[in-house]
Chain A
Amino acid sequence: MKRVTSLLLAGAFLLPTLATLSGCGGSGDEIVLKVYNWEEYIDEGGEGSFLYDEFMGENGQEEEGELLGADFLDWYKETTGTPLTITEEGPSVIDDFEKWYEKTYGEKVTVEYSTFGTNEDMYNEIVLGNEYDLLCPSDYMIMKLAAEGRLEKYDEAFFDETDENNYYVRNVSPYIAGKFATNAGLATLDNLWKDYAAGYMWGTTGFVYNPETVSEEQLESLDWRVFIEESAPFTNKITAKDNVRDTYFAAIGVTFEEELTALYQKFLAKELTAEEYTKELTKYFNDTSDEAIEKVEPTLMKIKENIYSFETDTGKADLVNGNINLNYAWSGDAVYAMDLAEEENDCYFNYFVPLSGSNLWFDGWVMPKGVSERGTKQAAQAFVNFLSMPYNAMRNSYFIGYTSVISGEKNEMLDYADYLYGYYPEDEFEEGEEYPEPVEYDLSYFFLGENYGEDVEHITIPADPEQASSRQLYAQFPPESVIARCAVMDYYGEEASVRINELWSRVKAETLDAWAIIVICVTVVGIALFTVFVKFGNKIDLRRKPKKGYKFVSREDPTRI
Chain B
Amino acid sequence: MKIPRFSRKMLCIPYAVFLIFFVILPMLVILFYAFTDKNMHVSFSNFIRFFSDPTKLSTIVYSLVIALITTVACLIIAYPVAYILARSKLKKKFVIVMLFVLPMWINFVLRVNALREIFNLIAISPAMEWLTSANYFKTIVGMVYDFLPFMILPLYTTMLKIDGSLYEASADLGGSAFTTFTRVTIPLSMPGILSGITMVFLPSMTNYVVSDMLGNAKVTIIGKFIYEYFGTDWHMGSMVALVLLAVVFLSTWLSGGFQSEENVRGANL
Contact = CB atoms under 8 A, between A and B. Distances in A.
B31 to A, nearest CB: 18
Contacts of A107: none
Interface in A502-518: 502, 504-506, 508-514, 516-517
Nearest to B4: A3
A249 interface: no
Contacts, number: 84
B17 interface: no
Nearest to A531: B254
Contact of A511 (B1, B54, B212, B228): B54
A310 B216 contact: yes
B7 interface: no
**Interface SS, B side:** helix
A309 B217 contact: yes
A498 B236 CA distance: 11
Interface in B105-128: 120
B1 A1 contact: yes
A498 B133 contact: no
B220 A236 contact: no
A517 B61 CA distance: 8
A379 to B, nearest CB: 30
A274 interface: no
B173 interface: no
Interface string A508-551: 11111110110011001000100110010000000000000000
A286 B224 CA distance: 26
Contacts of B213: 314
Interface residues of B, number: 33
Contacts of A304: 218
B246 interface: no
Interface string A323-358: 100000000000000000000000000000000000
A63 interface: no
Interface string B167-194: 0000000000000000000000000000
B233 A498 contact: yes
Nearest to B219: A510
B111 to A, nearest CB: 16
Interface string A305-321: 00011110010000001
B23 to A, nearest CB: 20
Interface residues of A, number: 41
B43 to A, nearest CB: 14
A510 B58 contact: yes
B3 interface: yes
B115 to A, nearest CB: 13
B56 interface: yes
B218 A509 contact: no
A120 B232 contact: yes
Contact of B61 (A242, A309, A512): A512
A517 B58 contact: yes
A512 B220 contact: no
Contacts of A311: 216-217
A427 to B, nearest CB: 41
A185 B140 CA distance: 44
B98 interface: no
Contact of A509 (B212, B220, B233, B256): B220
B55 A323 contact: no
A497 B225 contact: no
B54 A2 contact: no
Given A236-B132, A528-B250, A531-B254, A506 B55 contact: yes
B1 A509 contact: no
A513 B54 CA distance: 8
Interface in A445-503: 494, 497-498, 501-502
Given A304-B218, A502-B53, A510-B220, 7 more contacts: A120-B232, A242-B212, A508-B220, A509-B220, A511-B58, A512-B58, A528-B250
The 8 closest A-B pairs by CB, nearest first: A309-B216, A120-B231, A310-B217, A512-B58, A509-B220, A509-B59, A508-B220, A242-B217
Interface of A: 1-3, 118, 120-121, 124, 236, 242, 304, 308-311, 314, 321, 323, 494, 497-498, 501-502, 504-506, 508-514, 516-517, 520-521, 524, 528, 531-532, 535
5 contacts: A310-B218, A494-B38, A498-B232, A501-B228, A535-B256
